[in-house]
Structure 1
Amino acid sequence: MSEQVVRLIGEAGRGGIVAVCDHASNRVPEGIELGVSPDTLDKHVAYDIGAGGVCERLARRHNIPAMLSDISRLVIDMHREEDADGLVPTSSDGILIAGNIGADREARLERYYRPYHDALESWLDAVQPGLILSIHSFTPVLESDPAADRPWEIGLLYNQDDSAAQHAIRLFSELGVTVGDNEPYSGKQLNAAMNRHAEAHGRPYCAIEIRNDLIATETGQARWAAIIADVAGRVKLALESAA
């Protein structure tokens, strides 16, 4: 791999719980001009605010190793199919990404996207995890639709396989968390990474969206990592008991 596109934190054992974060970083590689302001790179359109920090704490404090993307979603979105319109976004939440108009899509696929997914595939094949946590975050207020109500603290997304998600929804709810069932996005439409690396292999997973104002600080990241680690452990036990 000619350029770092992933960060791996922790050593995974076979059959355990692992975490994946497709939008952990707002890093823009040298030589790519997105044509956006520096402020834009600090917004949710550039990366999933707080999600990388949650994964770091899952790995370092809760023994849930994590693989994180190290490329901004504005360069190429690791959580889209190769042929998706939004793979190299020209706009996001009403913000124009002018530098991506006419960008060399194939070059970015070859340099960043495919190496990321190859690394993720190799890692998961070697580990054969008992549960994958796909960690994302969402903004409480969309700039393009500020009136949209987004009351959830956490959301569980899934496509065809909701076995782990339904356990997690119940367990988070029992803790008093406001949980979205395929909200604020539906995994029926947006589940690319887990469709490829989990559902296609029959691997149980929880695709988790955390409201980003809850994990914008290290304190919030530590709190939610602890909650997620607890729920994940109990989800894995429930799946094993049902097997």
Structure 2
Amino acid sequence: MTDVFIEIEGRSESGLVLIADHASNRVPEDIDLGVHPSVLDKHVAVDIGVDRLAMLVSGALGCPAIIANISRLVVDLHREHDNPVATPVHSDGHHIPANAALDEAARRERIERFWHPYHGRAAELVDTHEPDMLFTLHSFTPRLETRTHETRPWHAGILYNRDDRAARIAIPKLEALGLHVGDNEPYSGQELNATMDLHAEARGLPYLAIEVRNDLIADAEGARKWAELLVPVIAETRDALK
């Protein structure tokens, strides 16, 4: 484990590499974000349940994985390095004072410390293992704090930008399990797809971006159940792309 990510060893023969950008709420001891500690347990700080889910899925598939070990409030690794919201100032009604106080030099230093090592290692894993398909795991909140009147009914969503090859295979497989699946919901991969754009679309590599509603994977039993659902779908999608 490094300061920035946890790396899970796996076999190139799996044909897969997992990247999980928002799997931790850890804030390094030398960084004070200026937020109440309770904020770090909310979806604005971490994709709830993804840490456990990612471990279970990568273990079952035998695939290498890189799992973020910092909160998205420190650096949002699922943004471009030159995007100002990579060091978020506001998120779903929560203000992050320390990020608002960063000058450009301090922001660049934060990006150099966290973003570049994480994505540099992710690129090395893809180069080394040459997977048939890249995949990523995220979670979303059933209801935003700033939009309490809007509910998100999907059990899971599959996101994509220009390359929808894997999405078109996986969505009907998930629906066949009786799940309510969002097709580029609860938000569009055409607007929010930075990591897969960088490591998959830029290479012409198929990818599967899976979002699970966080109340469904918030505990160990939920993560176990969803790992059992997702593992065969991921494997079958990979195989169908060959």
What is the CA-CA distance between 1:60 and the residue it aligns to?
Answer: 2.4
2:211 corresponds in structure 1 to: 209
Aligned length: 239
Is contact 2:5-2:69 (8 Å) kept? Answer: yes
Q: Residue 31 of structure 1 aligns to which amino acid in structure 2?
A: D
Q: Would the alpha carbon gap of residues 191 and 28 (structure 1) be closer, same or farther in structure 2, given more than 3 Å must change?
A: same
Partner of 1:23: 22
1:67-88 deviations in whole A, cap 9, x for unaligned?
Answer: 1011110001000012223110
- Name the CA distance, whole Å, in 1 between partners of 2:236 and 2:13: 18
**RMSD between aligned residues:** 1.3
Report the counterpart of residue 138 of structure 2 in structure 1: 136
- 1:19 deviation in Å? 1.5
The aligned counterpart of 1:145 is 147
Residue 139 of structure 1 contacts residue 211 of structure 1 at CA under 8 Å; is this kept in 2? yes
List runs of 5+ in structure 1 lacking aligned partners.
none
1:150-171 CA distance string (max 9 Å, x none): 0000000000000001111111
Instruction: After TM superposition, give the deviation of residue 15 of structure 1 in Å.
Output: 5.9
- Gapped runs of 5+ residues in structure 2? none
TM-score by length of 2: 0.95
Q: Is it true that 1:72 corresponds to 2:74 in the alignment?
A: no
Please name the residue that 1:58 is paired with. Answer: 57
| Mapping of residues 153-168 of structure 1, within 5 Å | 153-168=155-170
Structure 1 distance, partners of 2:60, 2:196, is 24
Moved more, 166-175 or 10-19: 10-19
Shift of 1:14: 4.5
CA contact (8 A) 2:196 2:207 kept: yes
What secondary structure sits across from 1:188 in the alignment?
coil
Question: Given that residues 60 and 231 in structure 2 are in contact (C-alpha distance below 8 angstroms), is that contact kept between their aligned partners in structure 1?
Answer: no
Matches within 5 A, 1:203-242: 203-240=205-242
In the alignment, what sits opposite 2:33?
34
In structure 2, C-alpha distance between the alignment counterparts of 1:125 and 1:92, rounded to whole Å: 34
Query: TM-score, normalised on structure 1?
Result: 0.95
Counterpart amino acid of residue 51 in structure 1: V
